[in-house]
């Protein structure tokens, strides 16, 4: 779910919010003077029925004296990073392309660690009916593909897949992306309402188990293992709270490695315990479908996490020239990387 992150609308809202008011202001120590007391409570938004990496890090004791303050659940990545940019929360995460859009629009945020990605176990596939004539990129011309939102991870992947397989810009425009709620995508494919659809996680497992569908390609097929998106913090928060920023970022990195090295059933058991103990009236059933952390080693951010989307971002008008990725992120506060 976290990978379906709309780019275009949220950035405009952030610019308006930053221009009109401070929207309550970020939770910062205040002066930033040497020795000033740093913030030790981080406001954030969660995801229903899901344990995020910061939540896991706190439960494992990796955040030390830094505490998390859940203020509600987010509905999308752009909404999450918009809240961080305008000071409603202290960190948020989104698809890398959404982060680029936000920063290009003038939002003073910086990526500090990757939090989601794709690998051989955890990925998005693009499925058709078993008897569909669609087998190559060119077969998608004139067809409809279901995605859960436009301007998101799936659109960027589809655009890149079509372009890498020789389709022109005009031909790509003939491939219609249709917004379909993820829970309805499988049936929309089976009923012929769309010709193909993006499926991942539990919905992918369910569709495969039901039979009759096949994958034409996946984002893992296209890129191999890769990072999909980072957590961002406001630059003023980072400047005034460097130790808290390091504790948070390094704690998330440790949680990533804990998920990578811990037996799957033990990870699921820990998630289930956290979900039940926090008392948000959630259903832990989907946790049983967890397969892997997905995030590349230690959450380290690399230039290619952003430049991978260069051509896509140009094609939709988000950037006009090649990205300067160094202005988008820092690994300085990730203690597993910066040592």
Instruction: Give 8-44 pLDDT, tens digit per residue.
Output: 444 444 443 443 333 334 454 444 454 469 999 999 9
DSSP 39-53: P-EEEEEE-TT---H
Say what angle helices 96-104 and 77-85 make with each other, to 10 degrees.
40
Q: What is the pLDDT of residue 22?
A: 36
pLDDT band at 152 (very low <50, low <70, confident <90, very high): confident
Q: What is the pLDDT of residue 201?
A: 82
Q: What is the pLDDT of residue 62?
A: 98
Q: What is the pLDDT of residue 78?
A: 83
Inform me whether the pLDDT recorded for 330 exceeds 90: yes
Residues in Cβ contact with 150 at an 8 Å cutoff, skipping those fewer than 6 apart: 6, 8, 177, 179
Handedness of CA 304, 306, 309, 314 (dihedral sign): negative
Percent of the residues in the chain that have a pLDDT greater than 90, as a whole number: 77
Q: What is the pLDDT of residue 7?
A: 46
pLDDT band at 5 (very low <50, low <70, confident <90, very high): very low
Q: What is the pLDDT of residue 36?
A: 66
Phi-psi region of 305 (alpha: psi -120 to 50; beta: other; left: phi over 0): alpha
For residues 263-282, give the mean pLDDT.
96
Instruction: Give 157-189 pLDDT, tens digit per residue.
Output: 999 999 999 999 999 999 999 999 888 999 999
Instruction: Give 224-272 pLDDT, tens digit per residue.
Output: 999 999 999 999 999 999 999 999 999 999 999 999 999 999 999 999 9
Q: Cα dist. 201→2, 39, 55, 208 in Å? A: 11, 35, 20, 11
Q: Cα dist. 7→123, 254, 314 in Å? A: 20, 29, 13
3-state SS, residue 63:
coil
Determine contact, residues 216/4, Cβ cutoff 8 Å: no
Q: What is the pLDDT of residue 74?
A: 87
Q: Among the listed ranges 6-15, 96-105, 282-291, which one has the minimum average pLDDT value?
A: 6-15
Q: What is the pLDDT of residue 286?
A: 82
Instruction: Tell me the average pLDDT of the chain.
Output: 89
Best CA proximity match to 197, nearest among 181, 209, 213, 186: 186
Q: Which of residues 221 and 289 earns the better pLDDT score?
A: 221
Q: In what order do the strands lie in the sheet with 92-93?
A: 92-93, 226-234, 109-118
Map out the domains of the chain with their CATH numbers. 8-119+226-327 (3.40.190.10), 124-223 (3.40.190.10)
Kindly report the number of other CB atoms within 10 A of residue 37's CB atom.
9
Instruction: Give 63-78 pLDDT, tens digit per residue.
Output: 999 999 999 998 788 8
pLDDT band at 198 (very low <50, low <70, confident <90, very high): very high
Q: What is the pLDDT of residue 33?
A: 52
For residues 315-339, give the mean pLDDT.
91
Q: What is the pLDDT of residue 17?
A: 46
pLDDT band at 54 (very low <50, low <70, confident <90, very high): very high
Q: Which of residues 111 and 47 earns the better pLDDT score?
A: 111
Q: In what order do the strands lie in the sheet with 196-200?
A: 176-179, 144-147, 196-200, 124-129, 213-218
Best CA proximity match to 157, nearest among 191, 199, 120, 189: 199
Question: Which pair of structure tokens corresponds to residue 255?
Answer: 């949680």
């Amino acid at each position: 779910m976290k990978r379906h992150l709309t780019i275009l609308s949220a950035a405009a809202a952030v610019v308006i919010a930053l221009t009109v008011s401070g929207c309550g202001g970020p939770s910062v120590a205040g002066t930033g003077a040497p020795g000033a007391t740093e913030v030790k409570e981080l406001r954030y938004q969660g995801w229903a029925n899901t344990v995020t990496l910061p939540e896991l890090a706190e439960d494992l004791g990796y955040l030390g004296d830094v505490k998390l303050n859940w203020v509600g659940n987010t509905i999308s990545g752009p909404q999450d990073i918009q809240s961080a940019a305008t000071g409603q929360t202290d960190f948020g995460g989104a698809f890398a392309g959404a982060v680029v859009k936000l920063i290009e629009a003038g939002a003073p945020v910086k990526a500090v660690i990757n939090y989601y990605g794709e690998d051989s176990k955890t990925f998005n596939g693009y499925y058709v009916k078993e008897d569909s004539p669609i087998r190559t990129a060119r077969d998608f011309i004139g067809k409809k593909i279901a995605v859960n939102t436009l301007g998101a991870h799936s659109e960027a992947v589809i655009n890149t897949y079509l372009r890498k397989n020789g389709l022109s810009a005009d031909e790509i425009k003939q491939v219609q992306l249709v917004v379909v709620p993820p829970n309805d995508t499988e049936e929309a494919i089976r009923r012929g309402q769309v010709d193909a659809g993006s499926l991942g996680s539990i919905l992918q497992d369910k569709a495969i188990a039901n039979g009759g569908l096949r994958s034409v390609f996946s984002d893992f097929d296209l890129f191999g293992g890769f990072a999909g998106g980072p957590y961002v913090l406001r630059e003023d928060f980072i400047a005034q709270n460097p130790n808290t920023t390091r504790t948070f970022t390094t704690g998330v990195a440790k949680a990533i490695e804990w998920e990578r090295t811990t037996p799957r059933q033990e990870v699921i058991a820990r998630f289930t315990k956290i979900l039940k103990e926090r008392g948000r009236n959630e259903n832990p059933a989907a946790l049983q479908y967890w397969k892997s952390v997905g995030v590349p080693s230690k959450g380290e951010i690399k230039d290619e996490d952003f430049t991978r989307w260069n051509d896509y971002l140009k094609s939709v008008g988000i950037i006009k020239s090649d990205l300067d990725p160094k202005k988008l992120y820092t690994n300085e506060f990730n203690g597993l990387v910066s040592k």
